[in-house]
Structure 1
Amino acid sequence: MCKAPGRVWKRLCTLVWLIITPFAMTGCYDRQELEQQAFVSVLGVDKAPDGLIDCTFRIALPVNPTGGGGGKGAEPLAGKEPVTIRAHSINEAMVLASGSIERNVTFSHLSLILFGDDLAKQGILKYVQPLIRYREFRRTVPFAVAKTSAKDCIAQFAPMLDTSSARVNDNISVMSNRSGIVPVCRLHEFATAIENPHQDVVAPLYDINKYVTKQAELSDQSTVSYQAGQVERTGGNPVDWMGAAVFRGDKVVDYLTGDDTILLRLLEGGLNNAKLDFTSGDKSDDIGLALHKEHAPRFSVTLSNPLQIGVHVPVDADVVNIASGKDYSGDAERHELEQMLDKKFNAQIETLLHRLLVDDQADVIPVSRYIRGQFSTYQQFDAYPWMQKLKDAKISVTTDLHIRRFGVQDLPLRRNA
């Protein structure tokens, strides 16, 4: 009888707590209304004098999906132009932007970070670290390198199809996984490479096309360029994205062309399909292939002196084009074509690996992951002088190319007599 009032009191306190708690958890003091935000979709970072940086903001303009709303006069006067602010850091640039942009600048919907060439060669770690710490930045945001300046690339960028500056960068990432001419590199991949020993990354390469901007006329040369900014074309977006910037640590040390990047992505094992042309001085020898990944490449590394690196690359291919018109549909002729293409593949991949591992001292695949099992502890693996050993490494490549079919027509076209 004496305990009954105590139980009633506890139940009453619990009931009051349940009623009051929801009201205490629904405060709106830190609310952020969409109408009060300026969403930066692309961020450009360039080197400036005296240790400063130029931060370029491409701000997304809200679009009514129903097509309603005001007319042309309702559009912001300066909203379509990128804003460039000189500051000591990206964070300071955000603060300074508050003095000229009438909404709160936010990076929560950032779709691309573009570093200028000068800054990328100097090192980007001091600028990436705050981005990774700051909760407003997602570690999944892609980043790239502009061969000229990020500011100029952002100002010249004019998509052909997409009206959303945020969506166009997502589409480029999706397209790159299909074509292979550019890699995809995100902040967390760069951070992982920095934190792990013997590992580097490649980032997409952007540049302004000199032919589209009329800085040069189409040439009469018989060669075709796969280098960003050098692709001979007229019309379309003035900016090319093709090839890759090779990082050693946090500094860019080399640039790859688009066809080199296709081979690199095959070596990484992340490219399922791609198209590649093998050309030579004799145009009748040109052959176009549609590549299909059969299995991931196999690496074998012997920790000898000198270092021995062996690579086996299995590839399935469909023949798209044979400039000579020769019939390779027979078993003997098909085997002859496969052997010829294997030699071309071997030579190109071996040259690329030697350039990256020996000349650039950059392990972007990375090959070093295949030697982890040869050390009993992580500390031993970390202490191994991998980059030093790469200087005189012996690299051998073996491709196993299998031609699946010759398109939908086995035999070449012939005119009847």
Structure 2
Amino acid sequence: MLPIWKRIWATACLIITPFAMTGCYDRQELEQQAFVTVLGVDQAPNGLIDCTFRIALPVNPASGGGGGGQEPLAAKEPITIRAHSINEAMVLASGSIERNVTFSHLSLILFGDSLAKQGILKYVQPLIRYREFRRTVPLAVAKSSAKDCISQFSPMLDTSSARVNDNISILANRAGTIPVCRLHEFATAMENPHQDVVAPLYDINKYVTKEAELSDQSKVSYEAGEVERTGGNPVDWMGGAVFRGDKVVDYLNGEDMILLRLLEGGMNNGKIDFTDGGESDDIGLTLHKEHAPRFKVDLSNPVTISVAVPIDADVINIASGKDYSSDQGRQQLEATLDSKFNARLTALLHRLLVDDEADVIPVSRYIRGQFSTYQQFDAYPWAKKVQDAKIVVRTNLHIRRFGVQTEPLRSNNA
């Protein structure tokens, strides 16, 4: 038999405990949320912005969702709201969207060209503060307008608007034709001295949307919106937008991005074609991740930047039919390709550092050890000093194999 005071204490606990437990007054049911998966921000007249929301409709796979094969977040038509800020657009959205707008499933932030060239810092600041915006959300630039790109975006395979942007980010690390720039990387570059970023570039393909005939030019375009093709998604993602600070100052095409990934040391896999001397003779290469590039920066007058880039490659195409499989042929091919890589990598690095005054690699991290304090490094006029810099890039290309067939095909019908 328990003492009387213990029985009183137990009874009191049973009575008080239900009142002390957390209630569900602030619950957020799935059926009450409007999940924004893509956010577009464009410049509008009189200092306003157009915010485009692509909203996903949650579908219960068990119930069939009305279509049987829909994704858990099937895309809905986008809505565009004009406001002073993204936060105000969210407030105004509550007047026409019957659910609470949330960014917890946001998979892409897309800035329009005109706004990106003027500066996006004032629009990124609230995203950093607002906890619904995860810092891992990718950031990109639309060469035309974010509204048009979002409206015409029609993926070929994925019906989930959230999943398709995740797949594009994965593809960026494999193909190398576009970069990956997340919100926290942009914020880090803004806070660190002498550091910039390059963001993915989107544009509407003129051949698909206007059904224009493909040109008869021999040059192939790697520009977003200019890739000659028919059918498929009306929107291209190809190349990158170069930021100096919070402003876009240049655009790189898909080939430039592959070369930039080599300089960054972030190339896991990629393919590139080079001409081996003839007008129609192409060498196709598959690039593999090797050791990181080695930068040596001498803060002399002028500044000297030397870069050693190891490249590991497989030959997947020799249009000329030449046989490079011998030791002498392999060395000749490696020397030819090294020369081409050196010229193009040097030109690209000069374009970024000198012409654009943007350090997106960044090369400046290799000079930190030459300063006694962070304040000295911060005060060093890096952008001004590299204007007269001597830039030399040397690649060391190693051909691992020539595919499953070493020697080229020989015709017996000639």
State the TM-score, normalizing by the size of structure 1. Answer: 0.93
Cα distance, 1:33–1:233 mapped onto 2, change above 3 Å: same
Cα distance, 1:159–1:380 mapped onto 2, change above 3 Å: same
Cα distance, 1:30–1:403 mapped onto 2, change above 3 Å: same
Cα distance, 1:11–1:399 mapped onto 2, change above 3 Å: farther
Unaligned runs of 5+ in 2: 69-74
CA displacement at 1:403 relative to structure 2: 0.4
CA contact (8 A) 1:121 1:252 kept: yes
State the match for 2:85 in structure 1: 89
Secondary structure of the 1:337 match is helix
Instruction: Map 1:167-316 onto structure 2 (within 5 A).
Output: 167-214=163-210, 216-279=212-275, 282-316=278-312
CA displacement at 1:108 relative to structure 2: 0.6
Deviations 1:145-197 (A, max 9, x none): 00000000000000000010000000000011000000000000000000000
Question: CA RMSD for the aligned pairs?
Answer: 2.1
1:99 aligned onto 2:95? yes
Deviations 1:64-100 (A, max 9, x none): 324624469xxxxxx8321000000000000000000
CA displacement at 1:23 relative to structure 2: 5.1
Secondary structure of the 1:416 match is coil
Query: Mean alpha-carbon deviation: is it higher for 13-22 or for 181-190?
Result: 13-22
| Residues in 2 aligned to 1:134 and 1:37: alpha-carbon distance in whole angstroms | 17
Deviations 1:373-401 (A, max 9, x none): 11111111111111111111110000000
Instruction: Map 1:322-337 onto structure 2 (within 5 A).
Output: 322-337=318-333
CA contact (8 A) 2:59 2:65 kept: no
Cα distance, 1:400–1:29 mapped onto 2, change above 3 Å: same
Cα distance, 1:245–1:281 mapped onto 2, change above 3 Å: farther
CA displacement at 1:22 relative to structure 2: 7.2
Q: Letter of the aligned partner of 2:194 in structure 1?
A: H
Candidates 332, 339, 343, aligned match of 1:343: 339
Secondary structure of the 1:391 match is helix
Secondary structure of the 2:388 match is coil
- Alignment length (residue pairs): 405
Cα distance, 1:98–1:402 mapped onto 2, change above 3 Å: same
Secondary structure of the 1:229 match is coil
Cα distance, 1:69–1:59 mapped onto 2, change above 3 Å: closer
Cα distance, 1:402–1:281 mapped onto 2, change above 3 Å: closer
CA displacement at 1:279 relative to structure 2: 3.3
CA contact (8 A) 2:54 2:77 kept: yes
Cα distance, 1:391–1:69 mapped onto 2, change above 3 Å: closer
State the match for 1:76 in structure 2: none
CA displacement at 1:284 relative to structure 2: 3.7
| Residues in 1 aligned to 2:41 and 2:10: alpha-carbon distance in whole angstroms | 55
| Residues in 2 aligned to 1:305 and 1:141: alpha-carbon distance in whole angstroms | 41
Cα distance, 1:35–1:406 mapped onto 2, change above 3 Å: same
State the TM-score, normalizing by the size of structure 2. Answer: 0.94
Cα distance, 1:395–1:101 mapped onto 2, change above 3 Å: same
CA contact (8 A) 2:276 2:283 kept: no
Instruction: Map 1:52-63 onto structure 2 (within 5 A).
Output: 52-63=48-59
CA contact (8 A) 1:185 1:204 kept: yes
CA displacement at 1:136 relative to structure 2: 0.9
1:48 aligned onto 2:44? yes
1:163 aligned onto 2:156? no
| Residues in 2 aligned to 1:306 and 1:400: alpha-carbon distance in whole angstroms | 26
| Residues in 2 aligned to 1:404 and 1:281: alpha-carbon distance in whole angstroms | 22
Deviations 1:209-264 (A, max 9, x none): 00001263210000100000000000000000000000000000000000000111
State the match for 1:370 in structure 2: 366
Unaligned runs of 5+ in 1: 73-78
Percent pairwise identity: 82
Candidates 368, 382, 391, aligned match of 1:386: 382
CA contact (8 A) 1:293 1:314 kept: no
Candidates 126, 144, 147, aligned match of 1:148: 144
CA displacement at 1:24 relative to structure 2: 2.5
State the match for 1:31 in structure 2: 27
| Residues in 2 aligned to 1:67 and 1:276: alpha-carbon distance in whole angstroms | 47
